Chains A and B, each alone.
Chain A
Amino acid sequence: MGQYIVRRLLQAIPMLLLVSILLFALVNVAPGGPLSQFSRSRRMTAERAESLKRQFGLDKPLTVQYIVWLAGNDWMAIDTDGNGITDSYGTRKGVLRGDFGFSYQNREPVLPQIMDRLPNTVYLMGLTLIVVAIIAIPIGIISAVKQYSAFDITVTTLSFMGQAIPEFWLGLILILIFYVGLDNPVTGKSLLPGGGMYTIGAEFSLIDRIRHLILPVSMGVVGWVAWWSRFLRSSMLEVINQDYIRTARAKGQNERKVLYRHALKNALIPLVTMIMIDFPYVFTGAIVVEQLFSWPGMGRMYYDAATSRDYPMLMGVLILGSMVIILSNLMADIIYAYLDPRVRYD
């Protein structure tokens, strides 16, 4: 097993390299470019644009730009003033040495900005995922065990709706009801805040934090619960019709243990895949939720970087996301081997 994990981690390196080339190419073929942001300004002259281009290294061919992004340019003689004579060495260290470059927007290094936003996203999405698991797993099980009961029909109908409702619309409706519409009868203010992580001046109030979480978490939970509970229901239904469940009953085992000891253990295995596919969202964030609720997280940062053509920022977020996805896949495989004795890696 240890050997397997090491091998998979080593395999991840060329994979990430390939992904980064692809992402770099895709980002750069998008219409417009980093300079189109600045060209709107009246103060932007042709000379200044030329100088910015050189400063950002955008005058170089794409392949060179990629190499600089990956491996830096502190070993490369460059021409900073555009007179055709190389005059100094670069200062970039490259992603391989932990330098993700500078944001075009605010000229700050990319990595610290990401690290600054990451906890906010983990906080929001992690909580969302936990709430989803707490609600979806029991619902899925009960729904399958009591197939075609009133509970099952209600849940199936609701989850169908939950999957069909567009997330952004649901978010707007939630804001409309709980922020715009309903008021707190005591204070007369809005029942729930419409955005942000906390009220300024009340950073350490737990209740305030929770109040800010309710709407964005609810928005994420609806679709996810629908999806997971339906998935677990069908996986559970498949399992409870298996021969070994009949064997367990034939032994005289009671229904509760038939369910928990024999059925659930098998039904949860496919759910692991499901959970691990969704797990990267904990790190990459949800663009719509964060945008709608002005949540200072990764999703919103990604959105901002994309609209302002802030390529280094964009690449930083994308590479981090790719790493998390590759690691989640590996984790899914490891958990699989742990849960299912039929799966062995050697």
Chain B
Amino acid sequence: MTEHSDQFLLKIRGLKTYFYTEDGVVKAVDGVDFNVNRGEILGLVGESGCGKSVTALSIMQLIRKPGKIVEGKISFGSVNLRELPLEDIQEIRGNRISMIFQQPQTSLNPVITVGDQLAEVFEIHADLNNEEMREKSVELLRTVGIADPEQKALAYPHEMSGGQAQRVMIAMGLAMRPELLIADEPTTALDVTIQAQILDLMRDLRNELGTAVILITHDLGVIAEMADWVAVMYAGQIVEQAGVVPLFDKPLHPYTRGLINSIPVLGETKHRLADIDGVVPNLVDLPKGCNFAPRCKARKKYGLSICEEINPDLKEIMPNHSVRCWLYQDAEDHKAPLKP
């Protein structure tokens, strides 16, 4: 297991979150391990439906029926979030860990003013009177770059643009100066120019407040720009984990390579964008061996048979760089064809 520091803020081990649907058990998160350091930005990257958001919601203990966290440990500081009673979780949510979402406009209550929704965080977690809450809310709106914050505090969400709404969500997330901010695709629904502003804002606030961030995205460009550390997720599992530079310099997992190859490069003309053959496996009926095996070209190239039999472990094969792949791991009757 990759350990890039000893002082973990968040340590997730063997997290499994399943959804019990009529079509069967959807293994949305199926054994995820990762760590988040204080003040660090961890990029969690993967295709839609790979379990990134469910991982985030699992940390927040916001999984609703028919979903359920079935296994694993989510250590935050000295406590296991899974074992805490709801009141203690509510004490942590929005206070020590907060979360912002993909659709900022639908994430705000349409019938409550932005200022009141912001002040609600203080009402729950801080001991302030109404006037102080109002002042702090306006101040926060100013911090996240909202022009005319006194007026905007009185506005309703539908009167704001997507970018403004996401700034409000960030303000709400950072109101209590949390130790961890989980940002679930915070810029996906926004224009590219607004995207850059929101990312800059998040990075500035991280630098200022020292908040650790789990940045969930499917956009490797965002990861390259923002993250210190990257975890690549595929079909409910982490398949590769490394610092951002080594990951882009020398991606090991065939899936990570595919992802990086599929980034369109500006100024380079291709007739067809590179993609990864095949589709994400059905999470109800996962393949027996490695989840990526059916789509893996490297497996065919090296003629590996073990991939369809046994799912490899996530293994640290270089310092601070781990990967879940038989290309680099030995086993009984199996010799790794590649050395990293």
Contact = CB atoms under 8 A, between A and B. Distances in A.
A251 B109 CA distance: 13
Interface string A227-254: 0000000000000001110111111111
A338 B156 CA distance: 13
B91 interface: yes
B92 interface: yes
Contacts of B107: 243-244, 246-247
Contacts of A273: none
Interface residues of A, number: 22
Interface residues of B, number: 29
B124 A251 contact: yes
Interface string A247-277: 1111111110000011001100100000000
Indicate the member of A244, A253, A265 with the most B CB atoms within 10 Å.
A244
B110 A251 contact: no
A223 to B, nearest CB: 30
Contacts of A244: 106-110
A251 B120 contact: yes
Nearest to A246: B62
A252 B92 contact: yes
Contacts of A254: 87, 90
A94 B196 CA distance: 71
A252 B111 contact: no
Contacts of A265: 109, 111-112
B138 interface: no
A31 interface: no
Main secondary structure on chain A at its contact with chain B?
helix
A266 B109 contact: yes
Contacts of B124: 251-253
Nearest to A339: B111
B35 to A, nearest CB: 22
Interface stretch (B97-105, B204-212, B324-332): B97-105
B95 interface: yes
A185 interface: no
A247 B101 contact: yes
B63 to A, nearest CB: 11
B111 A266 contact: yes
B90 A341 contact: no
B172 A246 contact: no
A248 B109 contact: yes
Nearest to A248: B109
A327 B95 CA distance: 48
A251 B111 contact: no
A280 to B, nearest CB: 27
B13 interface: no
Nearest to A269: B111
A242 B261 CA distance: 36
B94 interface: yes
B109 A247 contact: yes
A342 interface: yes
A243 B101 contact: yes
Given A250-B101, A251-B124, 12 more contacts: A244-B107, A244-B108, A247-B101, A247-B108, A250-B60, A250-B94, A251-B172, A252-B94, A252-B95, A252-B121, A340-B110, A341-B111
Interface of A: 242-244, 246-255, 261-262, 265-266, 269, 339-342
Question: 9 smallest A-B Cβ distances: which pairs?
Answer: A252-B94, A251-B94, A252-B93, A341-B156, A243-B106, A244-B109, A243-B107, A252-B90, A250-B99
